[in-house]
Structure 1
Amino acid sequence: MDMGFFNEIGEKVELPRQDLTLRYGENSHEAAFVYGKPQFELLHEGKQLSYNNILDAESAWVLAKNLNVVGGGCAVIKHQTPCGVAYLRNDTDEEKINVIRKAIEADSESSYGGILATSFSLTLDMAKSINTYLEVIVAPEFDNEAVEYLSKKKVRLIKPLEYTPFAGKVAFGSLVLSERKFEGEPERLFGEEFNINEVKFALVVVEAVKSNAIVLVKDGVTVGIGGGQPSRKRSAWIATTLAGEKAHGAIAASDAFFPFTDGLEILMSAGVKCVAAPLGSIRDEEVLNFAKEHGIAFYKSPIRLFRH
């Protein structure tokens, strides 16, 4: 297949073809191709990997690895979008089993058939605690007993190698790449002081959600996720609708600035008490004044977290 990749001076570039055959492309009637060597070990392949499996698995792994800024955790992904995410309060095996359960149960309907990734090694007891059907499990290490137990199922087991993640798309016959970085510390501008790990957790998750993302978290787990919308207001409505009563007292994170106060109004009406977001809008002052007047704590994100 001629993909038509070219360098900066217009010369055609032949990309190395990796000997990895995928079941099918984005849809079952479409072929899929892998160029370059995927940086993972496939410990078990219950059924052949597909194009979507690889993209979802990487989305889950990058999010799980970013959770290390709050001590680690677990993420469940479907269609490159988080279904549920939870972070560790301590480093015990009991807590790790607990966050696996929390991440799945945060949206158990969407988690079914998803991809689960942990920032920590997966033991047999952790593997046995998984109570839903999954397409792929990704972890930095798997105990032999866990591999043996999970290999009796159709789930694929992926152990990532060390590599630098990029965001990218194929466009106009070329491969367009962007660096993917999560860095810096949120800064409280005003209002009540919230658990800084909860604020950072919300920002880590919102970085993994597509376009105009709004994420609500409470007590170490996601309670509402809205994204993939052309309007931030719509994402706020989706996140708060999914959260329901759990939005009361929750922390909301936005992947970019609020261009108007309407998104904040939806969050405030749902009971959100803290917002973390980047600044940069010509209406920043209006947005911040609105939050302050309505008793909402505001944390400034050091970076924009937008993913297309």
Structure 2
Amino acid sequence: MAIEEHININIVKNIDMRYGENPHQMAAFFISSDAGVSGLGHLYTEGKLHGKELSYNNIADISAAIRMLTDLDDNSCIVIKHSNPCGAASRDTCYESFKAAYEGDSMSIFGGIVGFKGVVDEKTAEFLHGIFLEIIIAESFTKEAIEILTKKKNLRLIEYKKWKNEIFKEDQIEIKKVIGGYLLQNRDTINPKTESFNLVTERKATEQELDDLVFAQIMVKHVKSNAIVIVKNKMLLGVGAGQMNRVTAANIAMNWAGEKVKNAVLGSDAFFPMDDTVRTVATKGIVAIVQPGGSVKDEDSIKACNELGLSMYFTGVRHFYH
């Protein structure tokens, strides 16, 4: 979609905040002036069922959680810290998804935000109640779940049932203030589930590994670049976020995954400029890789995978995120 020559944005203040990203920064939340009395912008006021006021960082993290859930299956769960995922899983129920997401990283979840693409029931609420969390966002909460979770007076509960038909439909344009002006771009709305996974190695991934590679591609799309993620059984095991080189990102993700890294898969937001990432991850037991491809040295990485017995798939779609 082409960017228009002239853009007028009319916004009105919706929430005054105690402070911004840090206590010395002033902040407020604005919504579109034509949003109406029940527009999506009211999610943070009308959709808040319980808990203390939302902060600048809270709203940023809730938005990040919603964007990740947009690409995931129903009943999936995502755990957010500083706008990056630190836990995620897709299972048949919200309870099983949260259980797996928690097992993926039971340390980083402390003080985090948990998002569900479904309904939080009593069993899930009992599990959640035992963990210190800032926010839980879900389509809805059962009566029993609300009774359990509201025992924590500061825990924010956000319900998006009223906006279910629009919350996962991304705005097409995003705006970033930079020195001297504004950057506008079409949002990265490509869902990795629709991408073509093209095998470029001798070894072909198993059906489970392919499912995990798709899940990995979804996760890495939403991690700050340079980004590497480790996934097994549609459960996030490790994240290397915001690193200046891909090998360091891979090492961080694998160290995070620990012993679970063996027989897991790896997703990368951009191509490997050389074969060092492949050789590094092979030593820890990674069995399959997904990346966009497009490096002048793609063939070196392909040869390394064949030599070491790994599968690798190219999607042709880069997911830088800054």
Relative to the length of structure 2, the TM-score reads 0.84
Give the distance between the partners of 1:177 and 1:47, measured in 2 at CA.
34
What's the secondary structure of 1:35's corresponding residue? strand
Tell me, yes or no, if structure 1 residue 86 matches structure 2 residue 98. no
> Equivalent pairs: percent with the same residue?
34
CA contact under 8 A between 1:23 and 1:49: conserved in structure 2? no
Partner residue of 1:286 out of 284, 300, 305: 300
The aligned counterpart of 1:171 is 178
CA contact under 8 A between 1:65 and 1:72: conserved in structure 2? no
Partner residue of 1:21 out of 16, 20, 23: 16
CA contact under 8 A between 1:213 and 1:232: conserved in structure 2? yes
Distance 1:29 1:300, change over 3 A: same
1:105 CA displacement? 2.9
Aligned AA for 2:70? K
Aligned AA for 1:238? I
CA contact under 8 A between 2:120 and 2:141: conserved in structure 1? yes
CA contact under 8 A between 1:214 and 1:239: conserved in structure 2? yes
Distance 1:39 1:270, change over 3 A: farther
Partner residue of 1:123 out of 121, 128, 135: 121
Query: What runs of 5+ residues in structure 2 fail to find an aligned partner?
Result: 33-40
How large is the RMSD of aligned CA atoms in angstroms? 2.1
Tell me, yes or no, if structure 1 residue 300 matches structure 2 residue 300. no
Aligned AA for 2:102? I
Give the distance between the partners of 2:182 and 2:318, measured in 1 at CA.
26
1:104 CA displacement? 2.1
Give the distance between the partners of 2:227 and 2:291, measured in 1 at CA.
11
CA contact under 8 A between 1:113 and 1:135: conserved in structure 2? yes
Tell me, yes or no, if structure 1 residue 181 matches structure 2 residue 189. yes
CA contact under 8 A between 2:200 and 2:302: conserved in structure 1? no
Distance 1:283 1:39, change over 3 A: farther
Equivalent runs, 1:1-308 vs 2, <5 Å:
8=5, 13=8, 15-37=10-32, 38=41, 40=43, 41-68=46-73, 72-88=75-91, 90=92, 95-130=93-128, 131-153=130-152, 154-160=154-160, 161=163, 162-163=166-167, 164-165=169-170, 168-172=175-179, 173-174=181-182, 176-183=184-191, 184-185=194-195, 186-190=197-201, 191-194=203-206, 195=208, 196-308=210-322
1:254 CA displacement? 0.4
Relative to the length of structure 1, the TM-score reads 0.88
CA contact under 8 A between 2:294 and 2:316: conserved in structure 1? no
CA contact under 8 A between 1:182 and 1:204: conserved in structure 2? no
Q: Which deviates the most, 148-157 or 106-115?
A: 148-157
Distance 1:72 1:276, change over 3 A: farther
What's the secondary structure of 1:20's corresponding residue? strand
CA contact under 8 A between 2:75 and 2:97: conserved in structure 1? no
Q: Which deviates the most, 143-152 or 199-208?
A: 143-152
CA contact under 8 A between 1:15 and 1:35: conserved in structure 2? no
Give the distance between the partners of 1:188 and 1:156, measured in 2 at CA.
44
What's the secondary structure of 2:29's corresponding residue? coil
Give the distance between the partners of 1:63 and 1:43, measured in 2 at CA.
20
Aligned AA for 2:157? L
Give the distance between the partners of 1:138 and 1:192, measured in 2 at CA.
38
Distance 1:282 1:192, change over 3 A: same
Aligned AA for 1:63? M
Aligned AA for 1:187? N
Give the distance between the partners of 2:296 and 2:212, measured in 1 at CA.
28
Give the distance between the partners of 2:318 and 2:183, measured in 1 at CA.
23
Distance 1:179 1:108, change over 3 A: same
Aligned AA for 1:144? K
Q: Which deviates the most, 101-110 or 158-167?
A: 158-167
Aligned AA for 2:90? Y
